[in-house]
Amino acid sequence: MSEARPARPGLYYPKLPATWWLRRPGYVRFMLREVTSVFVAIFLVELLVLVHKIGQGPQAYADMVAKLQSPGWIAFHVVALAFVLYHTITWFQATGVVQVVRVGDRQVPPPLVVAGNYVAWVVVSLFILYWLLVRS
């Protein structure tokens, strides 16, 4: 008990075990969602290192890319991609709850708000693909 509230005599104060999150599937999904931030952070650091290597010249960048093509790193990227996708999907689900969108007097149904996120994702992705593959 973090508050300085004295425990009343006779009452039994249950303690939450460290494995509390294994008790319900909802808790496990929550913990997985929180862990996705670790993979997002690692990937961000990797990106910054890549940018730094580009600054150090073509040889340094080529060495870095070769290192990232090792089986270990490929495996990490597959796992990280799965976690980052889960991160994105749970974030989109959350917008349905958090973002109240009003059109006139009526509220837009939450599934539509969530769908809007996916549509925006596809549109932006297509635009980036076009920019990378067609324009360059």
Minimum distance from residue 43 beta carbon to another protein (Å): 22
Minimum distance from residue 13 beta carbon to another protein (Å): 5
Distance from C-alpha of 113 to C-alpha of 10, rounded to nearest angstrom: 50
Contact 90, 82 (CB under 8 A): no
Interface residues toward another protein, by CB under 8 A: 1-3, 7-8, 10-14, 16, 20-21, 23-24, 26-27, 30, 34, 94, 97-100, 105
Q: DSSP 3-state assignment of 99?
A: coil
Q: Which is nearer to another protein, 26 or 72 (CB)?
A: 26
Q: Which is nearer to another protein, 26 or 71 (CB)?
A: 26
Minimum distance from residue 89 beta carbon to another protein (Å): 14
Contact 33, 39 (CB under 8 A): no
Q: Which is nearer to another protein, 16 or 66 (CB)?
A: 16
Minimum distance from residue 40 beta carbon to another protein (Å): 16
Residues 6 or more apart whose Cβ sits within 8 Å of residue 92: 114, 117, 118, 121
Q: Which is nearer to another protein, 3 or 134 (CB)?
A: 3
82-96 burial: b if 16+ Cβ within 10 Å, else e? ebbebbeeeebeeeb
